[in-house]
Structure 1
Amino acid sequence: MALKGISPFATFLIVGPVCFFLGILFASFPYDYYVLWTNPPALADSPLTDPREPFFAAQEAHLKFLHASPPLISRMLHIVIGTGLAGLMMKLYKPSEANMLFDGASLALYMIGVTVYIANIVKGMRTVTAGAYGGEPIIEGEKLIARAFEGHEGEYIGREDSLRVLSASNTILALVLVGVLVLQAGQWYAQRKEAEEIEQMDKADSEKKDKKTAAGGSGGKKKQ
C-alpha cells in the first residue's frame, strides 16, 4: 500500500512541473503554428515568395534567445524536471495496483518527454544557435559542430526542416505531458469512486448490524 498522506503531495509535485512545461510550450505555439500546421495568409505587398519566412525568422530568433539565456534559467528548468521525477518516485514507493497502473504509465510518458527534450529540443537549439543548417559554413562554434557531425556527411537537413522538427518536437512533448495529466486525473477519479464504494459498503454493513441488534433486542423482550 502507498504511504498515507504522501500521495496528494506527490501528485502536486507531478502536476505542478507538468503544467509549468505546458506553459512554456504554449509560449512557443504562436511560432510553431504557422511553421508546422498551416500556411499564413500571403501579403499582397510582400516581396517574399514564402509567406512562412517571417515566422521561420521569428522562431529562429526566439530559439537563439532561449539558448543564450543565463545558466540559472537552465538550472531552474532542470530542477523542475527533477521535481516531477521525484514526485513519481514517491508515488511508486511501495505501490498499490492502482499506483503501478497509473503512475507507472505516467513515469513512462514523463521519461519519453525528457528524451524528446534532450535528443530533439536541446540539440535543435544548439544547431539553430550555431547556424548548422544543411552543412552551411559555421563561424561561431565551428569546431563543436564539426565534431558533432564528423563522419555523417549527407545527413544534414535545411533550415526550414530543422525548425519544423523543433516545432514537431514541441507538439509531441505537449501531447506526452497532457497524457501524464490525464493519467493523474484518472487515478484521482478511480480512487474517489473506490472510496465512495467502500463508504457505501460500510454504511450498508452498519445498517445490517443495527437491524440485527434491534431484532435481537426485541426478541429478548418478547421472551421476558
Structure 2
Amino acid sequence: MDPGKVSLFKTYDKPKGQGGSGSFATFMIIGPVCFFLGILFSSFPYDYPLLWTSVETPAAYYDQLETHLKFIHASPPIIPRILHIVVSVGFCGFFIKLFKPSEANLLFDGASLVLYVIGVVVYITNIVKGLRIVTMGLYNKVGDELGVEGIGREDSLKVLAASNTILALVLVGVLVLQAGQWYAERKEADEIAKIDAEHESKVAAKKDKNAAVTRSASKKRQ
C-alpha cells in the first residue's frame, strides 16, 4: 500500500525554494514574530520586578506600572491596527507555506502555526482583557459577582506580566521550529548532493572502464 495514500494529509514535492525555509513566506512569519518579541522585550523591565526578583515590590511601583499600562491601552487606533496587520501577515505566511504542503511543511510549519494561534489566544484572552481591567479598575469585580474571592490589583498585574512571558516563550518556539526546518532542509540537501556526487563518480568510472575496454579491443584487432 502506498504510504502517501495512508497519510491523513496529502503532501507534495515542492521545487527548491518554494515553501521551504528560504522562501519569502518564511520571512513573512519570522518578521512578525521578531516584531512581537521586540515589543515584549520592551515590556520586560516593567515585568521583571513582579516575577523575576525575590525583593519585595514597593507599592508605589504598582501605581507606576498601572499608569504605564493605561497609557498603552489608550494608544491611538492606528497602533492596534498596525499590530493586527502584522498578525495577519504572519498568518498569510503560514497559509502560503501550507498550500500544497510537503512533509517538512506539515511537520514544522504545522506546529509553528499551532504555537502562533496559541500566542494570539493568549494575547486576546489575557493581555487585552488584562489591559481593559487595569484601565477600568475592575479588580475583584468578577469574583464579587460570583460570590468568590477575586483577583486583586497586584495579582492581576502579575498575571499580565506572566502572560507576556508565556507569549514570548511561544513565539521563541515558532522561531525554533523555523530554524529546525532550515536545518532539516539543509541536511537533506547535503545528503542529496552527496548521493548525486557518488552516482556521478560511479557513472564516470564506468565510462572510463568501458573506454579502456574499447581501446584494448581495438588494439587487439590491429
- TM-score band by shorter chain is 0.7 to 0.9
Q: Shift in Å at residue 177 of structure 1?
A: 0.2
Q: Shift in Å at residue 4 of structure 1?
A: 5.1
Matching residue of 1:79: 85
Matching residue of 1:219: 213
> 1: CA distance between counterparts of 2:81 and 2:98?
26
> 1: CA distance between counterparts of 2:25 and 2:122?
24
Matching residue of 2:100: 94
TM-score, normalising length: structure 1: 0.86
> 2: CA distance between counterparts of 1:114 and 1:169?
11
TM-score, normalising length: structure 2: 0.86
> 1: CA distance between counterparts of 2:91 and 2:15?
18
> 2: CA distance between counterparts of 1:73 and 1:91?
28
Q: Shift in Å at residue 55 of structure 1?
A: 2.9
Matching residue of 2:31: 16
Matching residue of 1:169: 163
Are residue 188 (structure 1) and residue 203 (structure 2) matched? no
Matching residue of 2:52: 37
Q: Shift in Å at residue 133 of structure 1?
A: 1.2
Q: 1:3 to 1:55 in 2, by over 3 A?
A: farther
Task: Describe how 1:42-61 pairs up with structure 2 within 5 A.
Answer: 51-61=57-67
Counterpart pick for 1:26 among 41, 45, 62: 41
Are residue 202 (structure 1) and residue 196 (structure 2) matched? yes
Identity %: 59
For each residue in 1:65-85, what CA deviation from the matched residue of structure 2 results, as whole angstroms up to 9, or x when unmatched?
A: 110000000000000001111
CA RMSD of aligned residues (A): 1.7
> 1: CA distance between counterparts of 2:144 and 2:113?
35
- Specify every segment of 5 or more residues in structure 1 that has no aligned partner in the other structure, as ranges: 41-49, 136-147
> 2: CA distance between counterparts of 1:221 and 1:109?
65
Q: Say if 1:14 and 1:84, in contact at 8 Å, map to a contact too.
A: yes
Which secondary structure does the structure 1 equivalent of 2:187 belong to? helix
> 2: CA distance between counterparts of 1:154 and 1:105?
38
Q: Which amino acid aligns with 2:139?
A: Y
> 1: CA distance between counterparts of 2:51 and 2:126?
16
Which secondary structure does the structure 2 equivalent of 1:212 belong to? helix
Q: Say if 1:92 and 1:100, in contact at 8 Å, map to a contact too.
A: yes
> 1: CA distance between counterparts of 2:17 and 2:149?
52
